[in-house]
Amino acid sequence: MGENLPLWTYNRHTRNATKDLQAWIIKFDEEDSQVTTLEKLYQDIARQSGILTPTTELIHVGTEVHFAIKRFDRVGAQKLHQATVSGLHHLSHMESDNFSYENLLVMTQQLTRDMTQVQDMYKRMVLNIVGANCDDHLKNTSFNMTNDGVWSISPIYDVVYNTGPATFGEHFLSVNKKNKDITRKDLLRVGEKVALPQKEMNNYIDEVIDSFNDKLKLIHQYGLDKSLVKELENNITLGL
């Protein structure tokens, strides 16, 4: 991060922030697991795909690489109202059987009344499916509301390659009633629920796949282990 960037670090006892400071969340590298670097990679892929993303940076400290994300629920010292899908629907984020990507797109359409944001949410679904982010539960998508009561989607967050034991390789949110082995046809069926044109949906899918392909060509710049890169190549879905 830039040497002159002022960070706002705080705890539960902090009540107010100095307006000249910036609020960031820092995820610390755990035993060189490279999860932090992976998350940066996925944020870069999301940004290239035209998805709304927060400002993110990597902090290199010796052999450790920490991931920093600028808080998007703060404007200076002011806190924006933010609510997760889990909170808005009074559902546990683990209740995957009660929610789907179809529900999420309809919810986005109803809350924002903005098809541009529905398109963004559709791309997030595609990114999670292509990129094998199975940790796509209801707390990992949020909406912000202004003081005037206008809702908008929050920037994408907590998006990373994840097929670990907590997910068993299955997505929390279903796609056309499926949580795994999802095809392009399934993705197209979901978009029909909010009247997205098929040509546009195919373009969104191709855009995300192209972003993954572009970043994989430059993946050496991220310093990921060759074994992890191989695992990524074997598990992400570029042939939709």
Confidence band, pLDDT 50/70/90 cuts, at residue 1: very low
The 10 Å Cβ neighbour count of residue 182 is 22
Q: What is the pTM of this model?
A: 0.90
- Give every CB contact of residue 38 below 8 A, 6+ residues apart in sequence: 160, 161, 224, 228
* Rounded mean pLDDT, 192-217: 97
Q: Tell whether the model's pLDDT for residue 41 goes beyond 60.
A: yes
CA distance 12 to 193: 42
Residue of 239, 221, 219, 240 lying closest to 231 (CA atoms): 219
Q: Tell whether the model's pLDDT for residue 4 goes beyond 50.
A: no
DSSP states along 87-105: HHHT--TT-GGG-BHHHHH
Residue 66 has a pLDDT of 93
CA distance 217 to 116: 29
